[in-house]
Structure 1
Amino acid sequence: MQARSRSWSRQLRSLLPFVAASYGAAALGSLFTARSLGPWYRSLRKPRWTPPDRLFGPVWTVLYGMMAVSAWLVRRAAHASPGHDRAGRAALLSWWLQLVLNVLWSAVFFGRRSLSGGLAVIAPLWGMIASTAVLAARARPLAGLLLLPYLAWTGFAAALNYRIWQLNRRRPLLRRALPS
């Protein structure tokens, strides 16, 4: 029983780096987001189907947790079976790349206050999430499934980003006109 407990404890400790990376990316992204949620974001024209601001935090909290568990499952599968090693490495590389793109979107859309730049980042982000889900599923099917809500939410965010860009594209001075 003690050996099983130690094994479980060791497995949970191996989850911590992925949790730290996921929520570290969330924290970094929120640094860019927080300074623009005031007058700039509120002044943008948005479609009626824009979720309330209070929904984004809880949704992203769950999604970042699922991302961490997905990467952890891939890592465990890669260590457990030599046949999964190559798939696991590819999935984890893709996982790190999508995490960087995730932060980059916040930096561009909110940090630079660029609606069109956000579109330029969210398209490859969505593709990288899809790629990560496929690669993760090869290593461990559940790991790929855990990324599907993130893929769906990012698809929704892309549609929202596009619609906000459409509604505001004739307002070129908006970014500079409002204080930080």
Structure 2
Amino acid sequence: MPTATPFPDAPVLSPWLRAAAAILPVAATAYIGSASTQESIPTWYAGLNKPSFNPPNWVFPVAWTILYSMIAIYAWRFLGVIARMGSSRRGWWLALAAFYVQLALNAAWSPVFFAAQAVGAALVVVVVLLVMVLWTIRLSWRYDRLAAWLLVPYAAWVSFATLLNAAILRLN
């Protein structure tokens, strides 16, 4: 009977466990974001001054649904790659850690911006999030370029969100 490979070797994941490790954290992040914004959109957020480039509210859930799907596919692919490569390449754990840190920052942004209504603190969170997404792409590139490319639209959207957050802070 095969045993799990000890750290720092690549983990042995069943297909179901790999899918769960990819989908569940992303779904939890999406849920936190959605739950944190629902009450604030028609009230507090509606009353904010916004820049001319602020998209209509319906764009955000559409964009995030697509992006969260791509983020989950990234995680599923990356976990598969590291499971197949065994201990032949070191450092994969740093890319995986960066991925989960950026996901935690993603989950933190909506409660900070919408629930706490702390636009300045949210700007700090989204800037760090952008840095972590870009670092995740950079670290993942050597293991799976397609997976890394899956995060590029996410980085572009977080760049836009950073600009939007900064503009809202300036206008309010």
| TM-score with structure 2 setting the length | 0.87
Q: 1:102 aligns with which of 93, 106, 109?
A: 106
Q: 1:87 aligns with which of 79, 88, 91?
A: 91
Q: 1:66 aligns with which of 24, 48, 70?
A: 70
* CA offset digits 1:77-96 (Å, max 9, x no partner): 11111356533311111111
Aligned-partner Cα distance in 2 for 1:87–1:77: 13
2:120 counterpart residue number:
116
More helix by percentage:
1
When Rg is computed on C-alpha atoms for both structures, the one with the higher figure is 1
Aligned-partner Cα distance in 1 for 2:46–2:21: 35
Q: CA deviation at 1:15?
A: 2.1
Tell me if 1:127 matches 2:128.
Answer: no
Please list, as runs of the form range in 1=range in 2, the aligned pairs for 1:1-180 lying within 5 A after superposition: 11=15, 14-82=18-86, 85-168=89-172
* CA offset digits 1:100-122 (Å, max 9, x no partner): 10011111111100111111111
Q: CA deviation at 1:23?
A: 1.4
Aligned-partner Cα distance in 1 for 2:69–2:21: 12
Aligned-partner Cα distance in 1 for 2:90–2:156: 27
Q: CA deviation at 1:136?
A: 1.5
Residues 75, 88 of structure 1: 8 Å contact kept: no
| TM-score with structure 1 setting the length | 0.83
Aligned-partner Cα distance in 2 for 1:159–1:58: 19
Residues 32, 107 of structure 1: 8 Å contact kept: yes
Question: RMSD between aligned alpha carbons?
Answer: 1.5
Identity, in percent, stands at 35
Aligned-partner Cα distance in 2 for 1:82–1:107: 38
Q: CA deviation at 1:22?
A: 0.5
State the AA in 2 paired with 1:81.
M
For structure 1, which runs of at least 5 residues remain unmatched after alignment? 1-9, 169-180
Aligned-partner Cα distance in 1 for 2:103–2:70: 13
